[in-house]
Structure 1
């Protein structure tokens, strides 16, 4: 079999031109149209793009651009936080894990505080969802020994749940009713 003919030298990729104010605004608009985000995440994204491509012109202010996007209604930290907290509760994750996710997303403390009561209202249901997924307490197939129960409590705590609630669920007998927990 004859050798395959070459198609010429590989093409060199040219680096994109440095960003300016208009290009940065286009990047910000494209990002917020594609992703639900926070002001903090948008600022981090824009700073990363400036580091990657460089900057040309007057000093860049990604934080001000993120605030502008928020003022236009394209970015809403509170709505993002509500959606993230509800999704994490459906996955069975607790309040501490949600607060860590809020800090990572750059949600301000006042927005996180405004969302705290709704997160607390879902705490028991989220813990029960977590226990069902991990087969802990009333969702277990057999009564665990003490060492396994302690591991299960630790698992629930790492899932972001309160120690007292974790212990109450983990010490429940397999098949026990969870109705009394739901009303607390």
Structure 2
């Protein structure tokens, strides 16, 4: 469970629901309305939430719970918009320094269709900006603290001496875990200074 899901679960269900009566079509529809009013969500997340509520509380309707129909009504009313959700979620993750792969993984878990996932994963420039933000936040490449570079180097000559191989491997691994490409990791770790890193971002071809 990611932080986004945990936050929803903390707020979505009052304590009284633990003793609430089983659901029927009307009460399930009411739960859906409350949920979409409180959270920006996707069709996949809404469907999973409703299925979980039926499992937790039981069902006393005359026919099986039609979760797909409820989700479809929320879409028709404009309460759920997968494209808008994907764009907002994707841009938020990119601004926090996560790469396109992590964005795609998050949106796929939320049930977003592949074409929308691709659109929300950012342009080449946005992906490079995300990698730059990650390097700055984690103090890697040109943002590294003094003493990060190879033994025997000193002062302004540190970066020219190069990273210790073990440190370099750890930094590359950190970029990859955050969803960035190997090329982005190498470009930023090897950047001579902040200006060079920013120039690499500006060289992105979004045509």
TM-score by length of 2: 0.77
- Aligned with 1:162 (options 174, 181, 190): 181
Alignment deviations for residues 83-115 of structure 1 (CA, whole Å, 9 cap, x no partner): 111111111000000001011111112321333
Report if aligned partners of 1:102, 1:112 keep a CA contact under 8 Å in 2. Answer: yes
Report if aligned partners of 1:38, 1:107 keep a CA contact under 8 Å in 2. Answer: yes
Report if aligned partners of 1:95, 1:119 keep a CA contact under 8 Å in 2. Answer: no
Paired residues for 1:101-140 under 5 Å: 101-116=106-121, 118-140=122-144
- Aligned with 2:23 (options 14, 19, 22): 19
Structure 1 equivalent of residue 81 of structure 2: 76
Distance 1:119 1:56, change over 3 A: farther
2:171 aligned with 1:172, yes or no? no
Tell me the secondary structure at the aligned position of residue 102 of structure 1.
helix
- Aligned with 2:53 (options 38, 49, 52): 49
The structure having more radius of gyration, on CA atoms, is 1
Report if aligned partners of 1:140, 1:174 keep a CA contact under 8 Å in 2. Answer: no
Tell me the secondary structure at the aligned position of residue 92 of structure 1.
coil
Q: How far 1:67 moved relative to its partner?
A: 1.4
Report if aligned partners of 1:18, 1:53 keep a CA contact under 8 Å in 2. Answer: yes
Report if aligned partners of 1:153, 1:167 keep a CA contact under 8 Å in 2. Answer: yes
Gaps of 5+ in 2: 1-16, 150-162
Tell me the secondary structure at the aligned position of residue 107 of structure 1.
coil
| Separation of aligned partners in 2, 1:127 and 1:146 | 21
Structure 2 equivalent of residue 146 of structure 1: 165
Report if aligned partners of 2:125, 2:202 keep a CA contact under 8 Å in 1. Answer: no
Structure 2 equivalent of residue 3 of structure 1: none
| Separation of aligned partners in 2, 1:15 and 1:146 | 58
